[in-house]
Structure 1
Amino acid sequence: MRSWVVISVLALAGCGEHLGYNPNYQFGSNAYGEYRVAREAALVSGDEPPATIPIALPAEAPTPAQIAGQDPVPVPATMGVRRKAAVAAPAAAAAPAAIAAPVTTSGPYPGSTPVLVRYAFAAQHAPGTKIYARNGASAATATRVCAGFATPSAAQTAFLAAGGPETDSRGMDPDGDGFVCGWDPAPFRQSQL
């Protein structure tokens, strides 16, 4: 008996027309809907269908100047996602002026900079210098998580891909320096490309 009630409710739910939230799929509500009404009427009556199909561009499409890189592209809203603020480095430990990261000339992506090299050049502080606030992280958790990676470079790449160094959802960076599992940025800061 209960299964018949469920089947009946599902059958009734399937009978309704799904209008959706996209107005492009509704007849007559916009220019494209009016075109569809005219086209259907022409197909049924045998008349000539409309020659021009109207299109609607996105409201926030990039301009040609933004595509060419002349104007800055606006940063989209993060939909409520907030990043944790970094702990400011002491003034005495101010890093020297940043050096431009090298660019590869060969390999699968010529003209690009590998992720770890880019991060090593961006993070000019020494390993062990607390830069980011970490709450509840422990060395035991970091050791356990790091054991799952073949190399420190693989662990650092995974850490960066998961939102690091700002966030540390897996507890890989208990000291808050932005370097995990013993990864050393010094070899990556040398121009070896």
Structure 2
Amino acid sequence: MRIAVPILVLALGACASGPQAGAGYSDYHSYLKAREDQLTGTTQPSAGQPLSAAGGVPTSTPTDLSDEQNFEAVASRESIESDRARLEAQQSQYVAIAPQPLPGRMSVPTGPNIVSYALDTTNKPGEQVYRRVNPLRNLSHERACARFASADKAQEAFLAAGGPQRDSKNLDPDGDGFACEWNPAPFRLVAN
């Protein structure tokens, strides 16, 4: 805290010391005058200090800017015939790619497909759909879920073991059909 106060005082002192030179001007007041003149159109920037249209910051040279928005400059080097030739050259290079049908959903030969299961169900997590009869199911539920690296892996094992109707591994104690807090919502959102 003791260090912050002197730094703050120095920073405020630097701000209050008055206009500074910079950005190609002798001081801040001359910059403001040049910027005001440019915006009102009363004078043009001097040859040594051209201002950009975007912010009044001096640019290195006026030739850095594009003249594509200047009608006279473009008309001096382009014509209707040159536009037509350029358009024909672009059209000759145009390649139309025919759309291909989307591939169908692949079946997973190694086990149940949790994506299909998510899309086939409509209940929300925690909404009981299946009856569970084990009175001690909540006690061993967390231990059973800890055996799996992710909720997706637990859901696959749950479906492979007869779920959602049966819960022999105690992965779905609330009977919603979703093992170990697995949530079908991300899969359902992608399908919509």
For the pair shown, the structure with the greater C-alpha radius of gyration is 2
Could you say which TM-score interval applies, normalised by the shorter chain?
0.3 to 0.5
Structure with the higher helix share, 1 or 2? 2
TM-score of the pair, normalised by structure 1: 0.41
TM-score of the pair, normalised by structure 2: 0.41
